[in-house]
């Protein structure tokens, strides 16, 4: 369930990056694995800074990683 109307493709992008683990992504952007889990499940909307860092890890523009769909 997307709690804030912000959806993301992190799971898909991790898969495309040689099945990058949540732990590896968490370490790359300096957050806990639980935060990555919460973002993937749509239970937490990351700060703009963290969103950019995640996009940078996948080498994609922000809007390819996160999309805003207000209900």
How far CA 35 is from CA of 12, 43, 57, 58, 70, in Å, comes to 17, 9, 16, 17, 22
Question: Looking at residue 5, what DSSP letter applies?
Answer: S
CB of 55 to other proteins, least distance (A): 16
Q: Is 8 in the site for other proteins (CB under 8 A)?
A: no
Question: Helix (H, G, I), strand (E, B), or coil: what is residue 68?
Answer: strand
Residues numbered 14 to 53 that lie near other proteins (CB under 8 A) are: 30-32, 34-35, 38, 41-44, 46-47, 50
Please give the residue ranges that form the binding site for other proteins (CB under 8 A).
3, 30-32, 34-35, 38, 41-44, 46-47, 50
């Amino acid at each position: 369930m997307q709690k804030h109307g912000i959806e993301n493709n992190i799971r898909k992008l991790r898969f495309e990056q040689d099945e990058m683990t949540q732990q590896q992504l968490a370490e790359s952007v300096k957050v806990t694995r639980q935060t990555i889990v919460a973002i993937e499940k749509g239970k937490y909307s990351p700060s703009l800074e963290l969103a950019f860092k995640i996009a940078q890890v996948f080498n994609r523009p922000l809007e390819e990683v996160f999309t805003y769909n207000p209900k």
